[in-house]
Structure 1
Amino acid sequence: MGSGDDGQVTALPASPASTATAASLGELLPDGLVVVSGDGAVRFVNQEACRILDCEVEDLLGGTVTEVLPLTDRDGRDWWEEPTPWNAPSTRTRRREKLLVGPDGRDVLVTARYIRSPTGHLERVLVGLRDAEARLRAERDQATVLSTVAHELRAPLTSVTGFTSSLLRRWDRFTDEQKRLMIETIESDASRLTRLITELLDISRLDSDSLTLRLAPVDLHDVLATHVSRHELSRTAGQVVLSLGPLAQERGLPEVWADADRLQQVFFNLIENALRHGEAPVTVTLDLDGPTGDWVLVLVDDEGGGIAEEDRDKVFGRFWRGSDGSTTGLGLYVVRGLVEAHGGTVAVESSPAGGARFAVRLPGGVPDAVALP
């Protein structure tokens, strides 16, 4: 079996040497391959096909393909029925990929290529098999995205449209205090919508490796202090506390080469996550890390119930929403993507205070080529 200049699969000469070569090449393919002769008998099966079909080579080899490899669609129709490779028009050379049900009931993606002689006689059928789990997982992810976005957009949009409609139609009926409360709610929900849309766009950029960072020397302490101060304006004082670790107090903190806006986004998400799913106070600690202290370490600790050990590898997963389903599953996925884009790492462990600890490590210092005088 080989490939011509036009991309069509062609048959190799049927010598023992070429047969061995074809078998070796078949085992190198990333997909499953079943080769069927013109009379319908299975002549070759690679190991990937056996893995997908959960069978042994001996279960298929030499048998009639329609009997040893039954394939049906979701409605139970036999894929090998009309038009079969053996009575299809001589101009037909392939069947398009289709999601089918395999012999053991599992989903499998199947395609076929017909090898014909110059006169149109069917000489060989190449059946390609792919594990459908990745495709189905992608479809489930897409459905999750749509469901998550619809759910998360509906509540703030309903609030915004409801309050704006009320204000426009009955402005004179509300007191100044009521108007202020309604406008503050509109602003809050509009900000929530903006964050959700930003996270969705960031996920798209992270998945396509098209995220752009505007790198510059950043004083991480100033970034976090400003963030915590703004956070305190809208919440009870003392819920978020910023402190320096012992090494940072002793040596001072180096600047980091980073995108300040993206770091704001990272720590906003981590602190919001700690307040929402843990318990206050949330302590943000800046320190140095590494054998020579050349990494900047940021710890975000809460005093809640923590995160179960079996879930710690999942919390940064795309659209993982936890057992209660109370989050979008976007924030921590974006956090990990943004931190790794800066060359850093993020992990979750138990906090000494009893809750969860998110530890972010970022490379400290500014590259010599761009260091400021």
Structure 2
Amino acid sequence: MPCHEAPTVPPVSWDDLPDGIVVVDADGRVQVFNAAAVKITGVAATTAVGRQLTDVLPLLDERGNDWWECSRVSRNLPRVTGQPERRLTFAGSQCERDLNVTVRYVRVEGQLVQVALSLRDTASRERLERNRADLVSTVAHELRSPLTSVKGFTATLLAKWDRFTEEQKKLMLNTVNTDADRVTRLLAEVLDVSRIDSGRIQMRKQIVDLDLTLRRVVDGKVAAGEATHDRFAVFTDGKLPEMWLDSDKIEQVLHNLVDNALRHGAGTVTIVMRGTPTGAEVTVADEGEGVPEASASRVFAKFWRGATRGNGTGLGLYIARALIEAHGGTIMVGRAPGGGAEFRFVVPAGAPVFA
């Protein structure tokens, strides 16, 4: 039998690592200063290597003390392997900035030979924490109204059931049911955002009738009292190919786009479906004020709500883009012929995917 040699794996360079890496010897003289460290600190590698760490990368703790000097005790303890991540201030010559720094000690027979520092910019983590805080704040705000309504009507019915007519009871129970649906949709949005951000979207493709799906979405809006049938104009341009899509996800995209047109647009909501050589194209247009050109790049970001910031969570378009891209499609926004906003997405016909 022929003997196949294992492929040669090229060695990993310090510059291939995404974190800033600084390696110094036991005396604090810089030996490695990788490309990410250069980007984070603005210090050239040629300037850093061979110099003392305190000169190249002066790091201050939360009390303003020199971190390298303060950590001398731990470096001299044979059993200490490093320091967990902590926030230190890089007191550079141009400006000060906070860094998340993790430290590992390299010892040979108990003697310190090297100290490795991993540097991360705090901006991305702070941005993530702000997004989480915004999500919690938005969810709490949006939950308050329907839950207050549910609690109020339920308490009233329990306390004064015999005083209301059947018609009044039915009206209040319908309101409770509608608000419960709002809570369910909000929680579904939060779960969707969690799956999107963690890369856990699962596709379960099947043959989908886009025309039937869209009309189901429109009928649902009418049944919920959000619009009347004469608010919509739905067209199918030509014959659509056989579409293999995730039925629930594509219905959610259509729901989000139609909901956005009803909330933020005006006049007739025109929806057009047409076949393409490789799939289908759908446009959803309204006759409102449209999306300002300066905001077009932000409409698919989290929490974007345009001028009507108090209306909705601002997550619908973010979710719609993620679901379309998960299908291998694209989505964009522009100006409709009637002057309002026009959202257009294209999805490939696809093939069945079994999870």
Q: TM-score, normalised by structure 2?
A: 0.85
Shift in alpha-carbon separation, 1:254–1:32, aligned structure 2, 3 A = closer
For 1:69 and 1:365, locate their aligned partners in 2 and report how far apart those are by CA, in whole Å: 52
For 2:88 and 2:192, locate their aligned partners in 1 and report how far apart those are by CA, in whole Å: 35
Matches within 5 A, 1:184-199: 184-199=174-189
- Displacement of 1:257 after TM fit? 1.4
- For the aligned residues, what is the CA RMSD? 2.7
Shift in alpha-carbon separation, 1:113–1:168, aligned structure 2, 3 A = same
For 1:48 and 1:214, locate their aligned partners in 2 and report how far apart those are by CA, in whole Å: 39
- Displacement of 1:79 after TM fit? 2.7
Query: 8 Å contact 2:43–2:56 — kept in the other structure?
Result: no
- Displacement of 1:328 after TM fit? 1.2
For 1:37-63, what per-residue CA distance to the aligned partner results, in whole angstroms no more than 9, with x for missing partners? 222333442232122112234654444
- Displacement of 1:334 after TM fit? 1.6
Shift in alpha-carbon separation, 1:41–1:278, aligned structure 2, 3 A = same
Query: 8 Å contact 2:264–2:308 — kept in the other structure?
Result: no
Q: Which of 61, 79, 91 pairs up with 2:79?
A: 91
Query: 8 Å contact 2:75–2:105 — kept in the other structure?
Result: no
- Displacement of 1:93 after TM fit? 2.3
What residue is the counterpart of 1:181 in the other structure? 171
Shift in alpha-carbon separation, 1:366–1:146, aligned structure 2, 3 A = closer
The 3-state SS of whatever aligns with 1:317 is: coil
Asked if residue 105 in structure 1 is aligned to residue 89 in structure 2, the reply is no
What residue is the counterpart of 2:269 in the other structure? 282
What residue is the counterpart of 1:115 in the other structure? 106
What residue is the counterpart of 1:316 in the other structure? 300
For 1:80-120, what per-residue CA distance to the aligned partner results, in whole angstroms no more than 9, with x for missing partners? 343426753122121112122212322211122222232x3
Q: Which of 210, 230, 240 pairs up with 1:238?
A: 230
- Displacement of 1:76 after TM fit? 3.5
- Displacement of 1:67 after TM fit? 4.3
Query: 8 Å contact 2:261–2:269 — kept in the other structure?
Result: yes
What residue is the counterpart of 2:7 in the other structure? none
Q: Which of 138, 148, 153 pairs up with 1:163?
A: 153
For 2:17 and 2:201, locate their aligned partners in 1 and report how far apart those are by CA, in whole Å: 33
What residue is the counterpart of 2:282 in the other structure? 298
For 1:84 and 1:115, locate their aligned partners in 2 and report how far apart those are by CA, in whole Å: 14
What residue is the counterpart of 1:344 in the other structure? 329
Of stretches 147-156 and 39-48 in structure 1, the one that deviates more from structure 2 is: 39-48
Question: Which amino acid counterpart does residue 50 of structure 1 have in structure 2?
Answer: V
How many percent identity over aligned positions?
44
Asked if residue 263 in structure 1 is aligned to residue 256 in structure 2, the reply is no
Shift in alpha-carbon separation, 1:227–1:38, aligned structure 2, 3 A = closer
For 1:215-238, what per-residue CA distance to the aligned partner results, in whole angstroms no more than 9, with x for missing partners? 322221122223223323323341
Question: Which amino acid counterpart does residue 338 of structure 1 have in structure 2?
Answer: L
For 2:334 and 2:142, locate their aligned partners in 1 and report how far apart those are by CA, in whole Å: 28
What residue is the counterpart of 1:10 in the other structure? none
Q: Which runs of 5+ in 2 are unaligned?
A: 1-10
- Displacement of 1:241 after TM fit? 1.8
Asked if residue 334 in structure 1 is aligned to residue 334 in structure 2, the reply is no
The 3-state SS of whatever aligns with 1:106 is: strand
The 3-state SS of whatever aligns with 2:230 is: coil
Query: 8 Å contact 1:42–1:62 — kept in the other structure?
Result: yes
- Displacement of 1:324 after TM fit? 4.6
Query: 8 Å contact 2:76–2:112 — kept in the other structure?
Result: no
What residue is the counterpart of 1:53 in the other structure? 41
The 3-state SS of whatever aligns with 2:343 is: strand
The 3-state SS of whatever aligns with 2:137 is: helix
Query: 8 Å contact 2:205–2:351 — kept in the other structure?
Result: no
For 2:210 and 2:75, locate their aligned partners in 1 and report how far apart those are by CA, in whole Å: 71
Q: Which runs of 5+ in 1 are unaligned?
A: 1-21
Q: TM-score, normalised by structure 1?
A: 0.81
- Displacement of 1:260 after TM fit? 2.8
What residue is the counterpart of 1:221 in the other structure? 211
Asked if residue 253 in structure 1 is aligned to residue 253 in structure 2, the reply is no
Higher RCO structure (Cα 8 Å, ≥6 apart):
2
The 3-state SS of whatever aligns with 1:92 is: coil
Matches within 5 A, 1:112-151: 112-118=103-109, 120-151=110-141
Query: 8 Å contact 1:339–1:346 — kept in the other structure?
Result: yes
The 3-state SS of whatever aligns with 2:72 is: coil
For 2:350 and 2:53, locate their aligned partners in 1 and report how far apart those are by CA, in whole Å: 64
Query: 8 Å contact 1:220–1:255 — kept in the other structure?
Result: no
Query: 8 Å contact 1:214–1:258 — kept in the other structure?
Result: yes
